[in-house]
Amino acid sequence: MGVLLLVLLLGLLIFHLGLCVWAIFKHFLTTDMPSALQHQVKMRVMHCIILYGISLANILEKMRICSLPRLFHFMQTIIFTKKKDPKVVVTDLLFGTIPVRLFQPKTMSCSPRRGIIFYHGGGGMLGGLDCYHNVCAFLARETDSVLLSVGYRKLPDYHYPVITRDCLNASIHFLKRLNSYGVDPSRVVVCGDSIGGGVVAQVTQALVGQKDLPQIRAQVIMYPVIQGINFQLPSMQQNKNVSFLTPDLLFMFICKYMAIDLSWQDAMLKGTFIPPEIWMKYRKWLSADNIPESFKNKYQEPQFPGPFNETVYLETKHLFDAGNEPILADDETIAQLPDLFLVSCGQDLLRDDALLYKKRLEDQGVPVSWCHVEDGFHGCMVLFDKQPFSFPCSLKILNAVVSYIKGL
């Protein structure tokens, strides 16, 4: 029995070592390290760990031992530990079935504080109240605000459009009860990163014209997911081999959340799922023509979209739902949106989503403040205190957000 156990342990060790070696080889064979990225050794180590985790998750999922999202959830609980901030009172609540976490500065205030509603990133699979706990505590403390973090439901149990619905419902619940939380109704900010940034855009659009609720003062969006139609923008070409968010990982998140078979990835990348009449209607907002020339270094404009394939369209047509594509909202809705503070990252696959949305709002007269972090990469903000994997760009983004919110 002891020999059998020893053989089993040795086999597991060899398996994991082989997986580590494979991840390292894949990283060095497929990954670019632009000179703008700081601390490249840390970045390489972090990316190898991510490749190892994805490979292990895929193997376990195919063996029906554990689904990929559930293994990711387990791994992030090890990496992202929450810290107690002595200057912030934290309260876990339920808004109906939606878990939320309230962050309130301990110091007394003679007047109502500003409020922040926060939606976390993670591609609909990762992230959570604990993962973003330290970020939210930092924002609440540094801006002297009452912050509500929304723990929306995620994969593998929940798919589109649950995230937007949960965030909208939790936000309405909070907005109706601002007085009980000591929040000034005229100073409420909606904030989020990555998919959470896209949800900020969706929720603020859904709240436009609702006279029975306090009006949102500003939307703060960091490296957002704004559209899922044009995957041939310059940043998709320039940053396709940059660490962390790769095209394969991006499409895995999109397809799993939107319940689309991953076999359609190539067709989506080439745009063959886009009907010609839809592209003609929305090209003015989605085309690479809207990206400033200074961001088109080495960009080779492809033939886009590719030849239309109706079968792919029928499998993916819910990508065109108006509620899922905030950039496609009508001009009247866009013109009524609150001020926007937008963060884009130079080394991000989705950099141009932010640039497209910036232009969309500016064209309708919405005040836009823009912070571009050239050495930033997708998801970097949440690493601001995660030694040894924190980066200067992480704190740079958080400090910019704090500065903007304090100025409102």
Place of tokens 């924190």: 390
Q: What is the DSSP string of 64-77?
A: TSS-HHHHHHHHHH
Specify the pairing of strand 183-193 against strand 113-119. parallel
CATH superfamily assigned to domain 83-408: Alpha/Beta hydrolase fold, catalytic domain (3.40.50.1820)
pLDDT tens digits, 259-270? 999 999 999 999
Prediction pTM value: 0.94
Tell me what pLDDT residue 4 has: 74
Structure-derived torsion over alpha carbons of residues 185, 137, 76, 394, reported in degrees to the nearest 10: 100
Q: What is the DSSP string of 326-343?
A: GGGS-HHHHHTPPEEEEE
pLDDT tens digits, 189-207? 999 999 999 999 999 999 9
User: Would you please indicate which residues are annotated as catalytic (active-site) residues?
Assistant: 194, 348, 378
Query: What does the domain layout of the chain look like in residue ranges?
Result: 10-66, 83-408
pLDDT at 1 over 70: no
